[in-house]
Amino acid sequence: MSDSHTRRWPRPAKALLAMAGLVVLQFLGDVLVARTGWPVPGSLVGLLLLLTGLALRGRVPQALDDVSAPLLRHLMLLLIPSVAAVGLYAGLLAQHAVAFLLVSVGVTALTIVVTAWTLQRLLKRAPR
């Protein structure tokens, strides 16, 4: 829905619409993964759908920003199960420590390079 349709709506309604949109995108990601058999989490596909939508729109709607800000502030709470799983599989990680370290360092380096490249592109486009 465009902003022209939602400008008249009260702020809580816009927030509910933004929350529903996030849930729908995650659901769509789960459905796509289930139907295609892709070996990735459905929530990742939903996140890529969100990224695509935001890239096409060119900005983040205020309601979505309002809804996502508290989630991002408390992101560590969402990672607790992952941290607990590391402790559960410590033996398996120790068995494959070299491969784990190589992949971790490689992915971290790739993330830094892609982030720097993206930042440079955004800074070139930013008004001065």
Q: What is the spatial distance between Cα 24 and Cα 12, in angstroms, rounded to a whole number?
A: 18
Distance CA 6, CA 97 (A): 52
pTM: 0.60
The helix/strand count (H/E) of the chain reads as 7, 0
């509910």: which residue's tokens? 16
Of the candidates 13, 11, 42, 14, the one whose C-alpha atom is nearest the C-alpha of residue 29 is: 42
- The span from the CA of 30 to the CA of 9, in Å, is 30
Angle at 98 between CA 37 and CA 77, to 5 degrees: 60
Distances (CA, A) of 20 to 14, 40, 97, 118: 10, 23, 41, 29
- Of the pLDDT bands very low, low, confident and very high (cuts 50, 70, 90), residue 1 is very low
More confident residue, 10 or 99: 99
Report pLDDT for 24: 96
- What confidence tens digit (pLDDT) does each residue in 10-57 have? 788 888 999 999 999 999 999 999 999 988 889 899 999 999 999 898
What gap in Å lies between CA 118 and CA 41, rounded to an integer?
A: 24
Residue 2: pLDDT over 70: no
